[in-house]
Amino acid sequence: MVEGVPAEGGLRERKKRATRAALVEAAVRLAVERGVENVTVDAISAAAGVSTRTFFNYFDSRDEVFVMVGSDSSDRVCRAVLAAPPGPAPLEVLRDALAAELEEVEQQQEVWRLHAEVLRKAPQLLARRIGAHMADELGLAEALAERIGAGSPLFAEDRPAFASPEDEERRRVLDLYPRLLAAVGGTAVRVAVEHWSVRQDQARFTDVFRETFEHLAAGLPEPPTTDDRRS
């Protein structure tokens, strides 16, 4: 529990996350079954066991349930980066923040796979999803920059809002390192998930995720060959 936040707040947050996840899963499964164009907000809400009004508490439109997947997760990662204690290297802070969001990846893997299938069949949603991912990455870079004091617009008195649409200016102000770190972190997650997905009988996701960040922390040296390990 975060200091100053009552336990009830944590319970409310978990309930909100569960409802949001249920809406996303319902939408994805319906889209796979019927096609995206045949899925309505009413159908999604009914499948998730909530009212249409509740749906619009989480998403502004039907398409957003497919596009804005993980946006709340991205916000939590940014907050975790900013709230982490001083001392650990930025890569460690990012790793731990991402790991906390990926604790249930093994249970959610099927939904992730189905979601990717839906996006492949709906180019207009895929394009919007890529845009949302880039916005999430920019927000994470700003959080990392604030943490290390590397030219973050969050330090400027006249900075744009955290979710400002002025992306070009936000990128101009940011230094290279936090932008690179945010991009590398996102890529590491994607690669770890994809690598584990085809090897689920060989390794746990947490082990693959940890190994991925160990490679990054080591500077990606070339691993020893089979012959090297035998000698």
Q: Which of the listed residues 15, 44, 61 is the one where a domain comes to its end?
A: 61
Contact 36, 118 (CB under 8 A): yes
Sign of the torsion formed by the C-alpha atoms of 196, 199, 204 and 210: negative
Q: Are 140 and 180 a contacting pair, CB within 8 Å?
A: no
87 and 47 share one domain: no
99 shares a domain with 7: no
Q: Tell me: the pLDDT tens digits for 201-225? A: 898 999 999 999 999 999 999 888 7
Number of domains in the chain: 2
Q: What angle do CA 165, 171, 174 make, to 5 degrees?
A: 130
C-beta separation of 81 from 94 below 8 A: yes
Q: Which pTM was predicted?
A: 0.80
Provide the pLDDT for residue 10: 78
Both 38 and 20 in one domain: the answer is: yes
Q: Are residues 80 and 44 in the same domain?
A: no
Residue 227 lies in a domain: no
Say if CB 124 and CB 67 are below 8 A apart. no
Residue that is written with structure tokens 């319902």 in the block:
26
SS3 content of the chain, % helix, strand, coil (to 5): 70, 0, 30
Least confident range of 72-81, 103-112, 124-133: 103-112
Report the CATH number that the domain containing residue 42 is assigned in CATH.
1.10.10.60
94 shares a domain with 203:
yes
Domain limits for position 170: 69-219
Which class for 43: exposed (0-12), middle (13-18), buried (19 or more C-beta within 10 A)? Answer: middle
Strands (E), the chain: none
